[in-house]
Structure 1
Amino acid sequence: MRTPVPGEAGAALEPVRTELLRAAHEDARALLAEADREAAEVLDAARTEERAILDAARRQGEAEGAATGRAALVQARRTARARELSVRREAYEQLRLRATERVRALRHTEGYDSVLQRLTARARRRLGADAEVIEHPDGGVVALAPGRCVDGTLDAVAARALDRLGPEAETLWAP
């Protein structure tokens, strides 16, 4: 279950989110351009192969050649679609990785102490004032109370930010 970020923490992270979205759009455009180029190459090669198969098939008979050509084109389209989906999946994984790296970089900024304070306060609001709050080695905090835990690590904050994008994330690499 997703937990909304309180207003003040959300506002403090807005510049990070904005930069993440800008960088993600830029990265996604580059990945999509490469995917489009690769897909075009696959389709061009498939069309060339289709023409060669059709020429040979005409010598063996129109009916057999047409069926073979259609099958080659269908296979080429499937291959191109599979490649596109693979590139989109890779783009999303790269987006997740880069977003996490950028949020982790907060640890090396002057405002990091303020981020830690807000994450700690948020965890205590959720678990109670007696919750044990521990700074995580990769940044952020983990809070524990009997039978409950709040993951306020920077990795979790980045993941939740991307999850909140939902279907909007796909617009980063849509043509």
Structure 2
Amino acid sequence: MSVDDVPARPEAGSGQQSDLLPETRSALEPLRDALLAQARAKAERIRARAEDEAAAVLEDARAEVAELIAAARTRGEADARALLRLERARVQQSNRAIVLRAQREIYDDLVLRAEDAVRRLLADPVARERLAASLRDRLGPAVVITDTSDGGLQATLPDGRLVEASVAALVREALTRINLEDLWATAG
């Protein structure tokens, strides 16, 4: 069982349920904002690099297309148009692959940075105890809290069910709340 499977207290006036307590969410808000700012900055750099690479690819493709058109004129206008369509599709696919690779790099970097930040945060005994108290508040006083190998916590309920609050689970949960399409749109 993961943190996602445990019923959460609804946030006042939101009409939705939240998996994190307001105190935990508030404590993580500066971290989330800083990580988003870093990710956006890196996304912008990678996007700019990808645009430069795409422009060079496009320029090369245009030169190649010009040669193809000149040769194709002798074979007919219809053949040249067909080749141009195929070349444009190839360039678009190549550009999209560059963007997707850049987005994956950004996401992987965001996960690593977020995990490092959460691990540092949970190294603070006060923050660690707040997370443990949050788990006890949500799951009851009979819950047994133990450390996870990645620096987080795990809660075991009397019936044997486990609630994971490991570093990886906390980061996964936080990243599900980020609309990555907005991140990519901001970078573009």
* TM class, shorter-length: 0.7 to 0.9
The list of structure 1 runs, each at least 4 consecutive aligned residues, that deviate by more than 4 angstroms after superposition, is none
SS state at 1:134 partner: strand
- 1:103-122 C-alpha deviation (Å, 9 max, x unpaired): 223255xxx11111111111
Looking at structure 2, the residues matched to 154 and 26 of structure 1 have their Cα atoms a distance apart, in angstroms, of 24
- 1:92-135 C-alpha deviation (Å, 9 max, x unpaired): 22222222222223255xxx111111111111123221111112
The corresponding residue for 1:60 is: 75
Q: Which structure 2 residue ranges, 5 or more long, are not aligned?
A: 6-17
Q: What pairs up with 1:78-97 in 2 under 5 angstroms? A: 78-97=93-112
Aligned length: 170
The answer as to whether partners of 1:20 and 1:99 remain within 8 angstroms in 2 is: yes
The answer as to whether partners of 1:141 and 1:152 remain within 8 angstroms in 2 is: yes
The corresponding residue for 1:161 is: 174
Looking at structure 2, the residues matched to 44 and 97 of structure 1 have their Cα atoms a distance apart, in angstroms, of 36
Does residue 149 (structure 1) correspond to residue 165 (structure 2)? The answer is no
SS state at 1:129 partner: coil
Looking at structure 1, the residues matched to 110 and 51 of structure 2 have their Cα atoms a distance apart, in angstroms, of 18
The corresponding residue for 1:170 is: 181
- 1:46-69 C-alpha deviation (Å, 9 max, x unpaired): 222211111111133322222222
Q: What pairs up with 1:110-125 in 2 under 5 angstroms? A: 112-125=124-137
Q: TM-score, normalised by structure 1?
A: 0.85
SS state at 1:4 partner: coil
The alpha-carbon deviation at position 40 of structure 1 amounts to 1.9
What is the percentage of aligned positions where both structures have the same residue? Answer: 37
Looking at structure 1, the residues matched to 163 and 126 of structure 2 have their Cα atoms a distance apart, in angstroms, of 18
Does residue 10 (structure 1) correspond to residue 25 (structure 2)? The answer is yes
The answer as to whether partners of 2:39 and 2:106 remain within 8 angstroms in 1 is: no
- Structure 1 residues 92 and 117: CA distance shift in structure 2, 3 A: same
The answer as to whether partners of 2:144 and 2:155 remain within 8 angstroms in 1 is: yes
SS state at 1:60 partner: coil
Looking at structure 2, the residues matched to 85 and 107 of structure 1 have their Cα atoms a distance apart, in angstroms, of 32
The alpha-carbon deviation at position 42 of structure 1 amounts to 2.2
Q: TM-score, normalised by structure 2?
A: 0.79
Q: What pairs up with 1:34-49 in 2 under 5 angstroms? A: 34-49=49-64
Indicate the RMSD between aligned Cα atoms, in angstroms: 2.0
The corresponding residue for 1:136 is: 148
